[in-house]
Amino acid sequence: MQLPILLDRESRIPLQRQLFDSIRRMVLTRGLRPGDRLPASRGLAKALDVSRVTVSLAYDQLTAEGYLHARRGSGTFVSTQIPDALAEAHGRSLPRAAQARVRVSKYADRLQAEPAVGHVPSGAIDLSCFAPDFDRFPMAEWRRTLSRRLRSSGRLLFQYAGDAYGYEPLRQAIATYVAKSRAIHCTAAQVLIVSGSQQALDLCARVLIDEEDSVSIEKPGYPGTHGVFRAHGARVHTVPVDRDGIVVRRLKPGARVIYTTPSHQFPTGASMSIARRMQLIDWARQHGSMLIEDDYDSEYRYHGAPLPALYGLAADVPVVYIGTFSKVMYPGIRLGYLIATNSLAHRFAAAKWMMDRHSSLLEQMALADFIKEGHLERHVRRMRRLYHQRRMALVSALDQHFGEAAEILGDQAGMHILVRFRNLEGEPDPARDGVRLTSASKYYVSDAPANEYVMGFTAVTERALREGVARLCRAWSHPRAKGSLGGGQFYGEITLPHK
Ligand SMILES: Cc1ncc(COP(=O)(O)O)c(C=O)c1O
């Protein structure tokens, strides 16, 4: 490792002292991190054109003061026990210019910090997680597919792809898939590979709206969408959701873009009825609005045939369709897709090219093979069966322990349900109660009800789901409730029953 050290040979400060100060500063400002290995004294002396003794003496002094420690036979390392107080004191003594608040863009100011993901103590059951079950991922096939691509693709892998659209065979595979499963008829030229739905949403904000434009989103809804449009300076309106999806008559004229999750509304799980879909398309046509259809988990549907996508139903209203591989593969793959009309797809591709050129080629190529060879379809089929069992285990445990005190929504599809508990409030403490539950309140921009929880069932075994619900019941020590549930007309406007 080369250290960025400049020695001033004109200075009256001895070289050994200058070296000591430079390395000390790097340790305190974390340019060198605890455990980092320092260059050997001979190498550093040569690089800085000083004697080896100068370096050895500086290292010795840093070691004596606790900044470094030497391990016999393996070298000199940054100490793992630099007192924080020392680093903080150093921060306070930094020149003012370095500490002055930097003026950032309005965009940066409007970004909101993601809420920290709570720690799950060991032994606690996490009922809030709705990630795929990574242990069931067909790792052997995926590893083989990736290695084959690594071996066979040669220089193609190392170069920029010629355009931002993504790997053509993958786009072709997606066009074929959505035609079959979502009644979307498009060509590969209309499919843009993106780094997850989140990037698709960001591209929508860049391509479709200007500051102060009005955007309608669902309430409760996906915070990733709200965050993107807010950061880009849109005026974001929230629209309530009922059992049929977004409530069209509550939309405000002037919305340039309407964002919706019709297959499995996030987080209520409502599946938008055909009548509501047609009503939404009519409204968008009359008011000159565009639709963004986020189809994030439609592959997991447990009852009945999937309803056709808005994209396929809306002949004369522009719809941008977004899909992701985060749920059927894993979120770390950062691959998703956006489907739009030819001319819009071209605009999106231009924005993607400006943003990051294109998504990583190796994963795109391997994914195209994975789909072509039927691995993905087999995996989804297997997971659908597994998740279906788990979903039933969760629903029946809730029913057994809470009866009508737990109203379950959105259990026909997806990877989570929304549970509205009656007369029960306050999150259990995972350390004390052995179960973690997180409130759905973060999905409401305002006026969140206190008793709604998103519960995931895909990454937890049936046994753990049952045990988790039993622990929940003990935590709330609530006997099976009797009587019917209250509740408002809209999920966004629920009236809470009180204890
Ligand atoms: C509504 C919605 N859209 C999209 C995603 C997935 O985002 P990404 O594809 O960026 O991982 C999620 C993830 O939970 C989601 O809930």
- Give ∠ CA 382-456-321 in degrees, rounded to 5: 70
Q: Is the pLDDT of residue 86 over 80?
A: no
Find, among 384, 402, 495, the residue nearest to 450 by Cα.
495
Please state, as a whole number, how many other Cβ atoms lie within 10 Å of the Cβ of residue 377. 14
Q: How far apart are CA 112 and CA 407, in angstroms?
A: 31
What is the identity of the amino acid at 355?
Answer: M
Same-domain check for residues 225 and 209: yes
Of all residues in the chain, what percent carry a pLDDT higher than 90? 78
The per-residue pLDDT for 309 is 97
Same-domain check for residues 280 and 413: no
Same-domain check for residues 390 and 354: no
Same-domain check for residues 341 and 211: yes
**CA separation (Å) from 217 to 50, 227, 447?**
64, 11, 15
Atom of ligand 1 nearest to the CA of 221: 1
Give, using CA atoms, the residue closest to atom 12 of ligand 1.
Answer: 296
Same-domain check for residues 367 and 395: no
Answer yes or no: is 179 within a domain.
Answer: yes
Domain that holds residue 162: 138-373
Same-domain check for residues 345 and 462: no
Average pLDDT over residues 202-228: 97
Same-domain check for residues 177 and 280: yes
Answer yes or no: is 106 within a domain.
Answer: no
Tell me, what CATH number does 95's domain have?
1.10.10.10
Residue found by looking up tokens 């306070």 in the block: 92
Same-domain check for residues 382 and 357: no
pTM for the whole thing? Answer: 0.83
* pLDDT tens string 403-453: 999 999 998 999 999 999 988 877 889 999 999 998 999 999 999 998 999
Same-domain check for residues 359 and 457: no
259 lines ligand 1 (CB under 6 A): no
Same-domain check for residues 153 and 31: no
Tell me, what CATH number does 172's domain have?
3.40.640.10
324 lines ligand 1 (CB under 6 A): yes
Average pLDDT over residues 279-295: 98
Same-domain check for residues 393 and 405: yes
User: Which residue from 226, 259, 297, 337 has its CB within 8 A of the most atoms of ligand 1, so it is best to mutate?
Assistant: 297
Answer yes or no: is 118 within a domain.
Answer: no
DSSP H or E segment with residue 151:
helix 139-152
263 lines ligand 1 (CB under 6 A): no
CA 195 / ligand 1 centre spacing (Å): 11
φ and ψ at 205, to 5 degrees?
A: -65, -40
* pLDDT tens string 40-54: 999 999 999 999 999
Answer yes or no: is 2 within a domain.
Answer: no
Residue 120's pLDDT band, with cuts at 50, 70 and 90, is confident
